[in-house]
């Protein structure tokens, strides 16, 4: 060590002190910012598995390798940065002692070889990344770097390149000054050494330059906490470690216990943001991979997943003092009249059009190299907008009401779910219905969950019919619920109405568990044609104790073809139509089911032409995230954008595996095809397979029905379980004669005892009480009668008070509904509490005839009349109540006729 090298070394130490101070202070600020967030449950389970995932994603780069050249370049830069940190700290020693280095390592050839390879790899890698960024640019909206911070990117890239060059120069100067060097371990620096003078001071100077280069990086990121391109080098390990076990598929569950106790539902203000949201926001590296595949961004809508996260990051950093100490916000009068902590709004961090443009396709989550969970954060903000602010697109109000009142998003009558069953039976196709043909599941293997689209949509019904015909032909033991089905709740949950989703889920799980009574878990098999139902039943219902083995219909049909239960007729070359297949997001990207549909198309003998965007990178049709039920008012229609990609293949048919995709792609074909007669046909894979097994236009003879797998069943109890019924109002033990039931309104079916008749507008009409036998109890005259709910009472009006649990449909601008207690079963409409008869109301005799629907109401008897004779009319509640018969009086015989009105 000479005086010169001592000065250089001391200079390096002194200059690094403020750099390290600024960096450590900035890191502490980020830690305090993230830790100020609310809880993010389920982030610490299975720590060893999480650690293994971190190692795989960091060192194998599976996300980055989807772009192989860019992935390889980034891997070299990343490893060079990690290892370069070791070499960078060695520069402190080399600045003082040019011949020195890490003990035990600086004379070891493998260490020098690793340093050499990583320095060269980092230089080549960063050069490629710089070239990619320059080629794509930042100004074109089609570039994934549009909206990213170019200054931060260029500075960080320059620092990385200079650091890698410094690694080589220090080695070369050291070889030039002291000799040595290995032809294989120092294969490049030994050649650079021939160009340099033999000067120990030059070694110290290069070491100091390398230190100063690192200090530039430390100071730059310390002064700019919003430079994700720099901070992700430290934070990405944590976002990967703390991500959910399955970032795609199920949404993060919400406990409504907290909501009942006044806790937050969703995220509406910055103090409500979970710490994982704040961690994701500060980690975003602005690479734009999410933006590149986002269907909203690519069709000129304002949503960019990247810009969404950077907006959340910026508002969090701008208001971090309020997060650390909320009292400061209360005392700050400079923001009077402006809620700077509110996240969603016209002039807030997240514009409503940004929030509601998301289709939940999952491309952003799938592509993000640092495991940011965009869909979870969007869903949290939607939940707040719906359940707390009641501020959401008006089209959703009708969907919410339809789901609550009718059990499907279109508001169709439940009886229509049986239409396709009746049509299939008329054509000789056997369709067993649970509760009618199948009383228990002991001799049934699969439950075919038809879904709302499969029962109500015309194209969906055709797919349902094709699946049933194939199952019937293959001899599969299956059954359907028919009118016993309800919506699984997926549209409600994806739109943010977690309250309504949990009501529907509780109801559906109760139905399924009753259906599968005696069938152990692992044998409760469900098949469905709807990927949204598939995802909900398979991935989201387990959070509510609904455990089933769920299969998409293409998976089961593919098995039937492999096992020769279905045999497609071979096609000749002249019949091999070119087709293309569109991957549904909730089947493909969310659940990784890519091959079964393609295998079935191959079995039909078609020529498959893949679109440019397929499988994990398939483009969305635009129907997910409840967008199916919202009008698309901004930019290009997503379905037309995707349809154009299908038309570019030259396919004559477009195969789909989802009823929503079928609707969207069919609409796109109609909009884009100039000649409708030459337009491609959009059909489900099941319909194509069904057509391929026809022989002379007819289905083959059905096989004998049998189990595909050996069944496992548990013995059912000999005594059937009693269904719990709500307690009846108190009644007096007064014998009463039988009487006539009130007339049924025209056009409605007579409800069964305990049933409820829904009225247009929402609330169910209380059902008619059970008919007592002669001599039974009659309510005491004058007893209070519960009033039936008024039509529409299930929907809170704007500004109305919080509705009781059971009315899950908020209205835009209204107050938020109070969630039910989790775990309580949400009753069906049929389980409404019966309203007792009106005072003095007569009860129909068994076998007595009732007035026809629409007939006039019978005239009541005059006040003071004695016990009504058999067939007499019913007195009004306002009139005196007939005196019950004295013991021994004659009791009207059952079957007494009802006189016509006016008699």
Alpha helices in 606-750 (DSSP H): 638-647, 659-672, 685-693
Instruction: Give ∠ CA 835-837-843 in degrees, rounded to 5.
Output: 130
The confidence score (pLDDT) of residue 812 equals: 59
Most trustworthy range by pLDDT among 263-272, 326-335, 556-565: 556-565
Candidate from 280-289, 573-582, 728-737 with smallest mean pLDDT? 728-737
Which range, of 210-219, 264-273, 803-812, 892-901, averages the lowest pLDDT?
A: 892-901
Look at 522-536, 563-577, 653-667, 823-837 and tell me which has the smallest mean pLDDT.
Answer: 823-837
User: What's the confidence (pLDDT) of residue 333?
Assistant: 60
Instruction: Please report which confidence band the pLDDT of residue 718 belongs to, taking 50, 70 and 90 as the band edges.
Output: low
From 3.30.870, 1.10.1060, 1.20.120, 3.40.1350, which CATH number describes the 256-329+338-392 domain? 1.10.1060
The rounded percent of the chain whose pLDDT value lies above 70 is 78
Per-residue pLDDT at 152 exceeds 70: yes
pLDDT at 538 > cutoff 80 = yes
Please report the pLDDT score of residue 337 as a whole number. Answer: 57
Whether 741 shows a pLDDT value over 50: the answer reads: no
Q: How many CB atoms lie within 10 A of CB 180?
A: 12
The answer to whether residue 726 scores a pLDDT higher than 80 is no
Q: 766 vs 141, which has greater pLDDT?
A: 141
| pLDDT confidence bin for 845, thresholds 50/70/90 | very low
Joined tokens for residue 485: 């089905």
Taking alpha carbons only, the member of 113, 122, 149 closest to residue 225 is: 149
589/849 Cα distance (integer angstroms)? 59
Kindly tell me the burial class for residue 785, based on how many C-beta atoms sit within 10 Å of its own C-beta (0-12, 13-18, 19 or more): middle
How far is it, in rounded angstroms, from Cα 363 to Cα 205? 48
* pLDDT at site 887: 41
> What distance in Å separates the CA atoms of residue 201 and residue 248, rounded to the nearest whole number?
56
Highest mean pLDDT among 267-271, 352-356, 828-832: 352-356
Per-residue confidence (pLDDT) for residue 56, from 0 to 100: 94
Question: Which structure tokens are listed for 282?
Answer: 């500060």
6 membership: H or E segment, kind and range = helix 3-35
pLDDT over 60 at 848, yes or no: no
pLDDT of residue 772: 38
Q: How far apart are CA 230 and CA 839, in angstroms?
A: 78
Q: Which residue has the higher pLDDT, 765 or 91?
A: 91
pLDDT band at 263; cut points 50, 70, 90: confident
DSSP 187-225: TTHHHHHTTS---HHHHHHHHHHHHHHHHHHHHHHHH-T
Q: Domains of the chain: which residue ranges? A: 3-242, 256-329+338-392, 402-562, 565-693
254 pLDDT tier (thresholds 50, 70, 90):
confident
User: Is 403's pLDDT higher than 70?
Assistant: yes
Read off the tokens for 806: 């059971």
What three-state secondary structure class fits 579?
strand
Q: Which range, of 92-96, 367-371, 781-785, averages the lowest pLDDT? A: 781-785
The closest of 138, 156, 158 to 148, measured between CA atoms, is 138
Beta carbons of 256 and 312 less than 8 angstroms apart: no
Mean pLDDT of the chain: 81
Residue 583 has pLDDT above 50, yes or no: yes
Of 202-211, 459-468, 567-576, 728-737, the range with the lowest mean pLDDT is: 728-737
How high is the pLDDT of residue 402? 96
pLDDT in tens, 511-532: 999 999 999 999 999 999 999 9
| Range with the poorest average pLDDT among 49-58, 649-658, 750-759 | 750-759
pTM of the model: 0.78
Quick one: average pLDDT of 891-903? 41
The single-letter DSSP state of residue 729 is: P
Helix 553-562 / helix 595-603 crossing angle, nearest 10 deg:
50
Looking at per-residue pLDDT, the higher value among 587 and 733 belongs to: 587
Helices (H) and strands (E) in the chain, counts: 30, 10
Query: Is residue 811 pLDDT above 70, yes or no?
Result: no
Reported as half-sphere exposure (CB side, CA atoms, 13 A), residue 557 has a value of: 38
pLDDT of res. 846: 39
Residue 676, pLDDT > 70, answer: yes
pLDDT at 396: 95
CB-based contacts of 373, cutoff 8 Å, min separation 6: 243, 244, 247, 276, 280, 365
- Count of C-beta atoms within a 10 Å radius of residue 543: 15
- Structure confidence at residue 573 (pLDDT): 72
C-alpha to C-alpha distances, 813 to 264, 342, 392, 627, 676, nearest whole angstrom: 18, 16, 8, 20, 43
Query: Does pLDDT of 121 surpass 60?
Result: yes
At residue 42 the predicted structure's pLDDT band, cuts being 50, 70 and 90, is confident
Please give the C-alpha separations between residue 852 and each of 454, 602, 742, 863, in angstroms, as whole numbers.
Answer: 35, 58, 10, 26
């Amino acid at each position: 060590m000479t005086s010169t090298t001592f000065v250089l070394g001391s200079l390096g130490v002194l200059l690094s002190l403020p750099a390290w101070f600024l960096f450590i202070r900035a890191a502490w600020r980020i830690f305090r910012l993230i830790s100020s967030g609310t809880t993010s449950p389920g982030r610490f389970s299975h720590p060893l598995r999480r650690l293994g995932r971190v190692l795989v994603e960091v060192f194998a780069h599976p996300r980055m390798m989807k772009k192989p050249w860019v992935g390889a370049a980034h891997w070299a830069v990343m490893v060079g940065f990690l290892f370069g940190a070791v070499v960078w700290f060695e520069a402190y020693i080399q600045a003082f002692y040019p011949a020195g280095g890490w003990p035990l390592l600086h004379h070891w050839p493998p260490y020098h070889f690793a340093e050499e390879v990583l320095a060269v790899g980092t230089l080549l890698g960063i050069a490629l990344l710089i070239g990619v960024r320059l080629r794509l640019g930042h100004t074109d909206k089609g570039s994934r770097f549009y909206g990213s911070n170019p200054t931060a990117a260029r500075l960080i890239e320059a620092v990385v390149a200079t650091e890698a060059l410094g690694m080589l120069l220090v080695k070369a100067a050291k070889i030039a000054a002291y000799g040595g060097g290995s032809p294989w371990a120092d294969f490049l620096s030994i050649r650079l050494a021939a160009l340099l003078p033999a000067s120990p001071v030059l070694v110290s100077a290069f070491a100091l330059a390398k230190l100063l280069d690192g200090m530039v990086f430390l100071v730059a990121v310390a002064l700019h906490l919003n430079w994700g391109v720099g901070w992700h080098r430290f934070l990405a390990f944590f976002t990967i470690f703390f991500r959910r076990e399955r970032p795609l598929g199920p949404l993060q569950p919400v406990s409504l216990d907290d909501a009942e106790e006044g806790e937050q539902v969703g995220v509406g203000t910055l103090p409500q943001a979970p710490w994982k949201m704040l961690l994701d926001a500060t980690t975003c590296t602005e690479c734009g991979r999410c933006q590149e595949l986002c269907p909203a961004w690519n069709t000129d809508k304002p949503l960019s997943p990247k810009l969404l996260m950077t907006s959340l990051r910026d508002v969090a950093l701008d208001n971090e003092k309020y997060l650390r100490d909320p009292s400061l916000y209360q005392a700050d009068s400079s923001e009077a009249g402006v809620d700077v902590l509110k996240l969603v709004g016209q002039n807030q961090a997240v514009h409503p059009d940004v929030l509601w443009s998301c289709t939940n396709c999952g491309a952003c989550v799938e592509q993000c190299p640092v495991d940011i969970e965009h869909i979870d954060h969007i869903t949290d903000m939607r939940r707040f907008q719906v359940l707390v602010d009641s501020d959401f697109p008006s089209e959703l109000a009708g969907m919410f009401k339809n789901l609550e009142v009718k059990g499907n998003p279109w508001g169709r009558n439940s009886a229509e779910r049986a239409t396709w069953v009746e049509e299939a039976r008329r054509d000789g196709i056997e369709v067993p219905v649970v509760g009618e043909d199948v009383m228990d599941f002991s001799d049934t293997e699969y439950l075919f969950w038809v879904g709302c689209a499969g029962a109500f949509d015309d194209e969906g019904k055709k797919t349902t019919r094709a699946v049933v015909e194939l199952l019937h032909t293959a001899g599969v033991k299956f059954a359907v619920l028919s009118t016993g089905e309800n919506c699984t709740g997926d549209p409600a949950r994806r739109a943010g109405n977690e309250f309504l989703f949990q009501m529907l889920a509780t109801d559906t799980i109760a139905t399924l568990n009753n259906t599968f009574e005696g069938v152990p878990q692992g044998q409760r098999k469900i098949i469905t044609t709807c990927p949204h139902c598939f995802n909900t039943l398979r991935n989201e219902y387990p959070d509510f104790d609904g455990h089933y083995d769920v299969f998409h219909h293409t998976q089961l049909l593919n098995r039937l073809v492999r096992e020769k239960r279905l045999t497609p007729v071979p096609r000749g070359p002249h019949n091999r139509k070119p087709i293309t297949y569109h991957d549904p997001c909730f089947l493909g990207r969310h659940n990784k089911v890519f091959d079964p549909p393609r295998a079935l198309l191959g079995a039909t003998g078609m020529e498959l032409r893949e679109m440019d965007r397929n499988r994990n990178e398939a483009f969305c049709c635009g129907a997910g995230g409840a967008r199916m039920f919202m009008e698309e008012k901004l930019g290009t229609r997503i379905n037309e954008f995707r349809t154009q990609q299908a038309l570019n293949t030259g396919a004559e048919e477009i195969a789909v595996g989802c009823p929503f995709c079928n609707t969207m792609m069919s609409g796109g074909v109609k909009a884009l095809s100039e000649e409708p007669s030459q337009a491609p046909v959009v059909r489900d894979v099941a319909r194509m397979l069904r057509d391929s097994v026809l022989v002379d236009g007819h289905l083959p003879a059905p096989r004998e029905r049998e189990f595909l797998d050996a069944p496992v069943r548990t013995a059912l109890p000999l005594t059937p379980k009693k269904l719990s019924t709500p307690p009846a109002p108190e009644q007096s033990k007064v014998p009463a004669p039988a009487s006539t039931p009130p007339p049924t309104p025209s056009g409605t079916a007579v409800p069964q005892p305990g049933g409820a008749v829904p009225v247009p507008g929402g609330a169910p009409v209380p059902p008619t009480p059970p008919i007592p036998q002669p001599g039974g109890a009659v309510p005491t005259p004058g007893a209070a009668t519960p009033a039936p709910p008024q039509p529409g009472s299930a929907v809170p009006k704007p500004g109305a008070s919080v509705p009781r649990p059971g009315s899950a449909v908020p209205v835009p601008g209204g107050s938020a509904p109070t969630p039910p207690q989790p775990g309580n079963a949400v009753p069906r409409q049929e389980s409404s509490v019966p309203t007792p008869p009106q005072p003095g109301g007569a009860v129909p005799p068994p076998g007595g005839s009732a007035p026809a629907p629409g007939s006039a109401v019978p005239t009541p008897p005059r006040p003071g009349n004695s016990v009504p004779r058999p067939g007499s009319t019913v007195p009004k509640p306002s009139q005196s109540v007939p005196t019950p018969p004295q013991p021994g009086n004659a009791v009207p015989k059952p079957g007494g006729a009802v006189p016509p009105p006016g008699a």
